[in-house]
Chain A
Amino acid sequence: MKGSPELSFPKVRSVELEGFTLYSKMPDLKIEISPGVFCLAGANGLGKSTFLAALNFGLTGIVPDPERELKSHTRHEGGYIDEYFRYHKTASGYTESFFTGRIADTDRDEASVTLEFDIGERRYRLTRGIFDGPGLRVFEVRHNGEVEFDGEGHSMSDREVEYHGRLTEAIGLGSFEQFVFLQHFVFTFDEGRHLLLWNQRSLNHALHLCIGSDFDRANQADALQRQMERAGSLARNKQYQASGVSNRISTIRDAIGEDGEEDAEGPIPEEMVRAHRVIGENVQAQQDKVAKKLGELRDAELKWATASSRLSSLQAEFSREFSRHVHKRSRVELHPLVAATLSEDECAVCGTVGVASGIKVRINEGHCPLCGTGLPNPTPDEDSLARLKEIDGQVAGSREALEAATAEKERVSAEVIAAEDRLNALRDELREFEEANRRVLLEADSGGSAKVRETINRLEEELADLLKQKEAKYQERDKLMRQLVKLQRELEQQYEFAEDEFVPLFQRLAYAFLGIEILVRAESNEGITSIGLSLILEMRGSVRREEYQLSESQRFFLDIALRMAMAQYMSKQGNEAPLYVDTPEGSLDIAYEARAGSMFAEFVELGHDIIMTANINSSQILRRLARVCGRSRMTIQKMTSWTELSDVQVQEERLFRKAYDEIEEALKEGGD
Chain B
Amino acid sequence: MSNHDAYFDALSICDRLQPILGQVATSEVHLIAYLSCLLALYRGRAVGNWGYKFAVTKEGYPYSPDVQAAVDTLLHQGVLVADADSFLMVTRSGTEELALLRSLGAFRERDEYINGACGSTLALPTGTIRDAVAHAPDVRGALRMGQTRLLLTQSGQNLLYDQFAALSQAVGIDVADLMVPAVVWLIYLLEASADGPAPTHAPAHAGEA
Q: Which residues of A contact B (CB under 8 A)?
A: 318-320, 322-323, 326, 329-330, 332-333, 357, 360-361, 363-366, 378-379, 385, 388-389, 392-393, 395-396
How far, in Å, is B73 (CB) from chain A's closest CB?
7
Q: Select one of A320, A323, A366, A396 contacting B93, CB under 8 A.
A: A366
| Cβ-based interface call for B176 (8 A) | no
Q: How far is the CA of A435 from the CA of B92 in the complex (A)?
A: 85
Please measure, in the bound complex, the distance between the C-alpha atom of A332 and the C-alpha atom of B77, giving whole angstroms.
9
Determine if B91 is an interface residue (Cβ-Cβ < 8 Å).
yes
Whether A396 touches B105, Cβ cut-off 8 Å, given contacts A322-B2, A322-B4, A364-B93, is yes
User: Interface residues, chain B, CB within 8 Å of chain A?
Assistant: 1-2, 4, 7, 73, 76-79, 81, 83-84, 91-94, 96-97, 100, 103-106
Q: Which residue of chain A has the shortest Cβ distance to B97 in the bound complex?
A: A379
Flag if A323 contacts B1 (CB, 8 Å): yes
Closest Cβ–Cβ distance, residue B80 to chain A (whole Å): 9
Closest to A363 in B: B78
A329 touching B77, Cβ below 8 Å = yes
Pairwise interchain contact A364-B105, C-beta atoms closer than 8 A: no
Q: Chain A nearest CB: distance from B56 CB in Å?
A: 27
Cα distance A392–B2 in the bound complex, in angstroms: 17
Whether B78 pairs with A364 at a CB distance below 8 angstroms is yes
Q: What is the bound-complex CA distance between A164 and B26, given in angstroms? A: 94
- Complex Cα–Cα for A322 and B100 (A): 12
Q: Compute how far the CA of A329 lies from the CA of B100 in the bound complex, rounded to whole angstroms.
A: 13
User: 11 new A-B pairs (CB below 8 Å) besides A360-B78, A364-B92?
Assistant: A318-B4, A329-B77, A330-B78, A333-B78, A361-B81, A364-B78, A365-B92, A378-B78, A378-B93, A385-B100, A389-B103
- Do residues B91 and A392 form an inter-chain contact, with CB atoms below 8 A? no
The binding surface of chain A is classed by DSSP as helix
Return chain B residues, CB-CB under 8 Å to A378: 78, 93
Q: Across the interface, which residues of A come within 8 angstroms of B104, CB to CB?
A: 388-389, 392
Contact residues in B for A318 (Cβ distance below 8 Å)? 4, 106
B78-A322 in contact (CB<8A): no
Question: Which single member of A322, A326, A393 contacts B77 (CB below 8 Å)?
Answer: A326
In the bound complex, do residue B100 and residue A395 qualify as a contact, i.e. CB atoms below 8 Å apart? no
- Chain A residues near B78 (CB, 8 Å)? 329-330, 332-333, 360, 363-364, 378
Partner of B7, one of A322, A357, A360, A379: A322
A-B contact pairs, 20 of them (CB 8 A): A322-B2, A322-B4, A323-B1, A326-B2, A329-B77, A329-B78, A329-B93, A330-B78, A332-B78, A333-B76, A357-B83, A360-B78, A360-B81, A364-B81, A364-B94, A365-B92, A366-B92, A378-B78, A379-B100, A385-B100
B106 touching A395, Cβ below 8 Å: yes
> 4 nearest interchain CB pairs?
A364-B91, A322-B4, A396-B105, A392-B104
State whether A392 touches B106 (Cβ < 8 A): yes
B10 to chain A, nearest CB (A): 12
Cα separation A326 to B2 with both chains bound (whole Å): 8
Contacts of B81 in A (CB 8 A): 360-361, 364
Determine the residue in chain A with the shortest Cβ distance to B73: A326
Q: In the complex where A364-B92, A393-B105 touch, is A320 in contact with B1 (Cβ < 8 A)?
A: yes
Separation in Å of the A125 CB from the closest CB of chain B? 74
How far does the alpha carbon of A109 sit from the alpha carbon of B107 in the complex, in Å?
69
A320 to B1, alpha carbons, bound, how many Å? Answer: 7
- A357, A363, A378: most-surrounded residue (chain B CB, <10 A): A378
Bound CA span A363–B81, Å: 10
User: How far apart are the CA atoms of A498 and B130 in the complex, in Å?
Assistant: 101
A326 to B4, CA, bound (A): 9
Contact A395 B2 (CB under 8 A): no
Give Cα A378 to B92, complex, Å: 10
Docked complex Cα distance between A326 and B84 (Å): 25
